[in-house]
Amino acid sequence: MWNDRSAFFAFMILLLTTPPLLADADARIEARLEKLLPGYEIDSIRETPIKGLFEIIMAPEVAYMSGDGRYLVEGRLVDLEARKDLTEPRRAAARKQALDRIGEDKMVIFAPVEYDHTITVFTDIDCGYCRRLHREIAEYGAAGIRVRYVFFPRAGVDSDSYKKSVSVWCADDRRRALTDAKAGKRLETKSCENPVEEHMQLGQRLGLSGTPTILLENGTVIGGYISAKRLAAQLDAPTP
């Protein structure tokens, strides 16, 4: 079975150094979640600073579960002594992980020749503030910001906004079609294989309630319109 002696010894070291109770807890939690949420991919299970409580990531969701797999806890975990939110950084990372799974080949991207930052914008073609943001797309580029669009037609599947999103995706020039659509120009109706419903499902799992919603490179969420100048200043500000 073991052709590589180094692999065998690495496996034995892993067995000897893995705490049995932790391994058992992982197995119980994973079995419980697979039964309750079939089809959901479990990205990680890890201990929290609270004994017997485990962090569960199913990107983009973060939740907590008892080691026996019986109790599920939703909400923020806060270290009052350190005055630190332990959950939000993990949620941000999980959002980024979920976006990475979609992939840039399923996004409409406006990129300047040189840029320092990339943002992802959940957009509705018929949303007023989404259109306002897009009117400044050249200013975003001038500020060194690359914009990746994913579609979130709030009226749902088969709405006019949804059909416009599909037509944009199926156009020969997606960026031109998106710009025209946001300017209120009539698009040629087109249909093809597209990622619009996948975008919508992710937006729903993220709990989006409006558009535009902006995700920064680290997964931080900015709800609503923000000017290119203000966003650039925020992105360039030193990290505290």
In this structure, is residue 94 part of a structural domain?
no
Lowest mean pLDDT among 21-30, 162-171, 202-211: 21-30
Tell me: do 75 and 148 sit in the same domain: no
Q: Work out whether strand 117-123 and strand 145-151 pair parallel, antiparallel, or are unpaired.
A: parallel
The rounded percent of the chain whose pLDDT value lies above 90 is 62
| Separation of alpha carbons 165 and 145, rounded Å | 23
Q: Is 46 a catalytic residue?
A: no
Tell me: do 122 and 229 sit in the same domain: yes
Q: Where are the alpha helices (DSSP H) in 66-155?
A: 88-102, 128-135, 137-142
Tell me: do 125 and 71 sit in the same domain: no
In this structure, is residue 22 part of a structural domain?
yes
- pTM higher than 0.85: no
Domain boundary among 87, 113, 146: 87
Which one of the listed residues 26, 91, 127, 131 is annotated catalytic? Answer: 127
In this structure, is residue 95 part of a structural domain?
no
Tell me: do 76 and 124 sit in the same domain: no
Tell me: do 140 and 230 sit in the same domain: yes
Tell me: do 21 and 139 sit in the same domain: no
Structural domain boundaries enclosing 44? 5-87
Q: Is 4 a catalytic residue?
A: no
Which one of the listed residues 90, 91, 95, 130 is annotated catalytic? Answer: 130
Q: Is 154 a catalytic residue?
A: yes
Nearest-CA neighbor of 221 among 64, 54, 113, 92?
Answer: 92
In this structure, is residue 92 part of a structural domain?
no
Tell me: do 109 and 147 sit in the same domain: yes
* Structural domains in the chain (count): 2
Domain boundary among 61, 87, 113: 87
In this structure, is residue 93 part of a structural domain?
no
**Residue-wise pLDDT tens digits, 13-27:** 333 444 444 557 777
CB atoms inside a 10 Å sphere around CB 203: 20
Instruction: Name residue, tokens 């599909």.
Output: 166
The CATH code of the domain that includes 141 is 3.40.30.10
Q: How much is the pLDDT for 184?
A: 93
Lowest mean pLDDT among 23-32, 206-215, 229-238: 23-32
Task: Kindly report the average pLDDT of the chain as a whole number.
Answer: 87
The number of CA neighbours under 13 Å toward the Cβ of 171 is 21
Tell me: do 138 and 52 sit in the same domain: no
Which one of the listed residues 28, 91, 95, 124 is annotated catalytic? Answer: 124
Which one of the listed residues 32, 43, 101, 154 is annotated catalytic? Answer: 154
| Separation of alpha carbons 192 and 166, rounded Å | 8
Tell me: do 124 and 230 sit in the same domain: yes
Domain boundary among 64, 87, 110: 87
Tell me: do 69 and 111 sit in the same domain: no
In this structure, is residue 21 part of a structural domain?
yes
Tell me: do 110 and 136 sit in the same domain: yes
Asked whether the predicted pLDDT for residue 83 surpasses 80, the reply is yes
Q: Is 124 a catalytic residue?
A: yes
Tell me: do 79 and 111 sit in the same domain: no
